[in-house]
Chains A and B, each alone.
Chain A
Amino acid sequence: MLRQRPFLVETLTAIALIAVPFVLPYLGSAPNTVNRILVWGLFGIGFDILFGYTGLLSFGQSALYGTGGFVAAYLLTQAGFPYVVMALLIGTVAAAAVGYLVGLIALRRTGIYFAMITVAIAEVFYFVEFNPLSEWTGGENGLPGVPTPSLYLGFTTLHFTSGWSLYPFLAFCYFVGIVIALRIVRSPVGAILRSIRENPLRAAAVGHNIHGYKLTAFVIAAAYAGLAGGLLGVLQAFMPPEAFTFDTSGQLVMQTAIGGRGTLFGPLVGAAVWLFLQDFLQATLGLGAAWKLVLGLIFVLLVCFLRQGIVGGVRDALGFARNKYAAMFGPKHPPPSPTAGTGGRQPAHGGFVRPPVAAPMPPRHRATGPLAGPILQATELTKHYGGVIANAGVNFSVNQGELRGIIGPNGAGKTTFFKMLTCEVPPTSGSIVFEGRDITGMSVTDVCQLGLTKSYQVNQLFNRLTVRENLVIAVLAELRGKFKLDALGSLSRIPGLSEQVEHTLELVNLADRRDTPVSQLAYGEKRRLEVGLALASSPTLLLLDEPLAGMSPTERIETVKLLKSIGRDRTMIIIDHDMDSLFELAQRITVLQEGRVLVEGTPEEIKGNAKVQEAYLGGVHGVLAP
């Protein structure tokens, strides 16, 4: 909706920022409060990219806020550096550099560990400011006398001093900050950050270096924090040591959650609510110190009942209103698809499954000669979990262009075997060679980049993203490699992205559902998207773990057709319990039992094999059950 009018948000922001000094004084707000809101809002933009978009909740942003602030303030007050804007930029860079180092440590772990480590790191910064570095930072006195900026424009010099006079400078900084942030979240990097928030495991498995992207988000957040910290010093003409306290980090987290995470503007709204309420409760209601209790209660209630905060709530309400409007004034027509008309499009409803219309996508590098020789070779692959042996001495080889089926009773070690082939779990012993390269011990991301990936037995999707966005994530990994810093680039400028996504959408028959969030899909549709995610990066070797599980008979027939067509020019290995389908699809079948290869052969040989029948029907020592 916003993409259709590219600079709408930017324009509205600019208008609002210009209007503020003309409107708010009449509402009785102090310029200083407005300026503080802007600084918190700017601080929060970076934090929102880290928390709201990437899903990394840091309670240690104060460390970077203080670093940026004190570096700038030190330059301006102690070192006699005269250029305020330059000092602010140096502070920003310093905070980003420190953020990089902090990120290296904190991002070794995820989830609550990450939160705990960031808290601990921030506390260290606080103590370092107070003691070892107090000669430079002024210890508990902070650094007074931070000058305000002046801009020499050739014909005149603009002096920004305090109050409304400083406002244009801060508003400009905020505007630049929000414009850059909007570009970042709309860039390929932004899309990948969201995928990391939704499902880091899958984001790595489709071939993104998620550690690199997380670190990127952390450094971006650090840079914003550093700039905001510097501006705090300018705003107060004093750099307070309190910038380093845990309270600073806490207030940022609360303001972001109150305003709405993942919205970029949420922190600004949260800061406005926070600071206006603080003024109101303290001054007007005379609550004194109890204002924080009221804010704490509001915060708890918001977290309990309005998860997406104020901005998210407003957005949901608007979306609801828009749907109502759309429902009243006729249905919205889906946008025409580039491939529409090529194959008898019919509305997909009521369980009707349309056959795939698109031609299968070629794998990324076609073999030039005739398809021959092994593409994958596993030698003596063994995996122990403590005393449990999942796989023992599996020798397995698949030829170029082959479609191999793997069957075996539950607990035969099929899924563990797949996990080892895609390097999700390292084997206890043995080796894997893919296209002549030893991939044993490589990461799942690197292996996917080489062209080997799999679809999961249990759906691993990006739940809050749409079907199209899901596929974009997978295609990006192929088109951009595992790590690329095009954080200011545009998704629409990546050649081939749109075509490949549309193609995959057609292939897995989800073109009509492209803008539906995954969480609203039916099970069968999710299953197809799961296969689509693996397919989207056009692998040369595709592993499918029970692609037919949980599908209705009609869906199975269609999916088997789909698998046949995509298997035509790539190598595939399929695990499934649906023997009929697998016998129809595969050229050769490997039977696993108790972690070992029981037999291997053509479907005909397997059907007639006594050992296989025994494994499935439970005959004892060669004596078949009648």
Chain B
Amino acid sequence: MISWPNFLSQLFNGLAQGALLALISSGLTIIYGTLGVLNLAHGAMFMLGGYAGYVAYEATGSFVVAVLAGTLFVGVVGVVMERVIIRHFYSRPHEDQLLVTFGLAICFVEIVRFFFSSLSKTVPPPPLLTGITSLGVMFYPTYRLAVVGIVAVALLALYFVLYRTRLGMIVRAGIEDSVMVDSLGINVYRVFMVVFGIGAMAAGFAGIVNAPVVSLTPDIGEAILVQTFVVVVIGGVGSFPGAVLGGLIAGEIISLTSMVNPGYAYVMLFAAMTLVLLLRPHGLLGTRGRE
């Protein structure tokens, strides 16, 4: 039953899903690392990106516009959310931050349900990337193959921003010690806002890029959020490389287990998380004290 082509195609599925998870988790992890806020609305951001892209696609028929619109819209939502609500929660306990972002997630999901109903929506892949591609031993949907590339580019861009720019240096310094960054005369609150926007954009971008693969429903973000948690726990909270590594691991686990029995995909994912917690409580690439 398990043939080589099947195995390979699942391996690719895992890569595509893992890359997406890596991107979404990077957003979650840099927000948490810098601001100290775990954004439970991150899954809803992913969903919003998909729907904003869907609207743009319906209006213009262009996939590229859809991707831009989805990403930017979610970025704006993130910035507004940070300015209006999250900002008042920095000094409050973690539990309150979790509660408020959880509440916001519900609001986002229900607003979308109100306007678009619970029925699923689809965004077709761009014409250039439709069809299937022959990979020698097997045929594979072109768009899924492209997703790996697109997300890889996005991750590289995020890497570039984080590790090669002045802003990125400030963000990474903020992850280590935001109080110190503040006392060095850098307006840490403005950095927080930008980081929240970037993190949200990562989720939004993933949301619209994923839309042609899986059809959109208002609660699509919920399952993704749980998966990103596992990714972040495996990779280590606050670590960008950890999120990428964790994402790829999680993607492959889900995909390869699904090949045998889809019912066990989550069980295996969870087993991996437990294993990491037992052996390396701070995650594969995490460090102590970022909690």
Q: Which A residues fall within an 8 A CB radius of B?
A: 51, 55, 57, 59, 105, 108-113, 115-117, 119-121, 123-124, 126-128, 130-132, 246, 250, 253-254, 257, 289-290, 292-293, 295-297, 299-300, 303-304, 307
Contacts and interface: CB of A to CB of B under 8 A. Distances in A.
Contacts of B291: 109-113
B288 to A, nearest CB: 11
B110 A124 contact: no
A203 B102 CA distance: 29
B273 A117 contact: yes
B233 A293 contact: no
B98 interface: yes
B226 A130 contact: no
B274 to A, nearest CB: 6
B277 A292 contact: no
A415 B237 CA distance: 29
5 contacts: A112-B98, A112-B237, A112-B291, A292-B106, A304-B88
B222 A289 contact: no
A130 B265 CA distance: 12
B95 A57 contact: yes
A55 B95 contact: yes
A51 B92 CA distance: 16
B61 interface: no
B275 to A, nearest CB: 11
Contacts of A108: 277-278, 281
Contacts of A123: 223, 226, 266, 270
B234 to A, nearest CB: 10
A120 B106 contact: no
Contacts of A253: 99, 102
A127 B103 CA distance: 25
B104 interface: yes
Interface residues of B, number: 46
B222 A130 contact: no
Contacts of B225: 119
Interface string B81-101: 000010010001111101110
Contacts of A119: 225-226, 229
Contacts of B233: 113, 116-117, 120
B110 A292 contact: yes
Leading 5 A-B pairs by shortest Cβ distance: A131-B263, A293-B110, A296-B106, A116-B229, A300-B103
Interface in B241-270: 261-267, 269-270
Given A111-B94, A120-B229, A250 B106 contact: yes
A112 B102 CA distance: 13
Given A112-B38, A113-B233, A132-B263, 4 more contacts: A108-B278, A289-B113, A296-B110, A304-B100
Interface string B217-228: 000001101100
B32 interface: yes
B103 A124 contact: no
A124 B102 contact: no
B69 interface: no
A246 B263 contact: no
Contacts of B104: 296, 300
B146 interface: no
Contacts of A105: 274, 277
B32, B85, B106, B222 interface centre (most CB from chain A within 10 Å): B106
A253 B115 CA distance: 26
B4 interface: no
Contacts of B156: none
B232 A132 contact: no
A299 B226 contact: no
B63 to A, nearest CB: 30
Contacts of A110: 291
Given A112-B32, A113-B233, A119-B226, A127 B267 contact: yes
Contact of A293 (B107, B223, B281): B107
B100 A300 contact: yes
Contact of A131 (B93, B264, B270, B273): B264
Contacts of B103: 254, 296, 299-300, 303
A303 B270 contact: no
Given A117-B233, A293-B107, A303-B103, A246 B226 contact: yes
B38 A116 contact: yes
A293 B226 contact: no
Contacts of B269: 120, 124
B267 A112 contact: no
Nearest to B268: A124
Contacts of A127: 263, 265-267
B267 A124 contact: yes
Contacts of A113: 233, 237, 291
A137 to B, nearest CB: 12
Contacts of B278: 108
